[in-house]
Structure formats: C-alpha cells, structure tokens
Amino acid sequence: MIIDNLKNASLYVETNTRFKKAFEFLRSSNFEELAPGRYEIEGSDIYAMVQQYETRPLEDGAWEAHRKYIDIQFVYEGTEFMGYRNIEGMQITKEYDESADYLLLDGEGSFFRVTSGFFAIFFPEDVHMPAITDEAPSNMKKVVVKVKVD
C-alpha cells in the first residue's frame, strides 16, 4: 500500500510497467468535466472509474481485495477515511468473484485520512475499505484507476 500526493507520482512509475500511463491520465484529465463512468486508458489493462458519492459510516463499510488489478484511488474532491490491512489474518466472507475481480473479507485494520490531491495504491495483498466518513459525511469525487497486475 502506498499513499502520497499526486505531485509525487513520478516516484512510483517504476513499480509497475503500466503506472506511467495511469498517472499521466490522473495528471492530465480535467475531472471537473468528466462525468461518473468508466474511461479506457489502455483497453482492459488500464482503465479509470470516475465516481461521485457520499462517504458512509464505518459500520456500512466492507473490506475488499482484488487479484487481477491494482487500485490507484485518487481523491479529486472531498475527504474520506480508507482502511488497510495485509490480507494475512483476514477471514474471507465472500469468495473471489473472478468476473468482478473482488473478494470480501472480515477483520481489523488501520484507517487513514485521504484528502483532495492524494492517492492510495492498493496491491492484491492489500485489503482495503474505501469511502468511509471522516468527521461528517463528505461529497466525494474520486477516480479509481484499475491497473492490471504484470
């Protein structure tokens, strides 16, 4: 798991061969004008999902993980808590759905605040719980770039 400001994205482009294009999309897009939806960057190898929602209470959150894709979750507008925990020690509550590339888990993790201009990268071993309310519900505009694992 990595958390940083988008201005430091160049530090991570060597982590995965597809990160350079993913971060170029985040740096060059005008998210004021992009409607919620899916945007192809490099076919199914790299795509973005622009999302708008209100954060939810912790008790309504769910721990999730992926196998085929790495998430780069970029907060364009708003503030949310995101949870993190390594997959070891977590209990699977919904078996892996290959077509949707996710499984649900249960366990304890740590939470951190993510504000506008920051991103979090979640690798397949990183169980995460996004979209959690900070002090009060927040209207979010977030971009999740899905990067196929090499």
Residue 44 domain-assigned (yes or no): yes
CATH of the domain at 72: 2.60.120.370
8 A C-beta contact, residue 81 and residue 133: yes
d(CA 129, CA 110): 10
Beta strands in 43-138 (DSSP E): 46-54, 63-65, 69-77, 79-86, 91-97, 102-106, 110-115, 118-122, 126-132
Model confidence pLDDT, tens digit, residues 56-114: 999 999 999 999 999 999 999 999 999 999 999 999 999 999 999 999 999 999 999 99
pLDDT for residue 135: 85
Residue 148 domain-assigned (yes or no): no
d(CA 133, CA 30): 25
What's the predicted TM-score (pTM) here? 0.96
Residue 92 domain-assigned (yes or no): yes
Q: Domain span at residue 50?
A: 2-29+36-139
Burial of 139 (0-12, 13-18, 19+ CB in 10 A): exposed
Q: DSSP code of 44?
A: B
Residue 103 domain-assigned (yes or no): yes
Band of pLDDT at residue 28, cut at 50, 70 and 90:
very high
Residue 89 domain-assigned (yes or no): yes
pLDDT for residue 79: 96
Residue 146 domain-assigned (yes or no): no
Model confidence pLDDT, tens digit, residues 123-143: 999 999 999 998 899 999 999
Residue 112 domain-assigned (yes or no): yes
Residue 145 domain-assigned (yes or no): no
How many structural domains is the chain composed of?
1
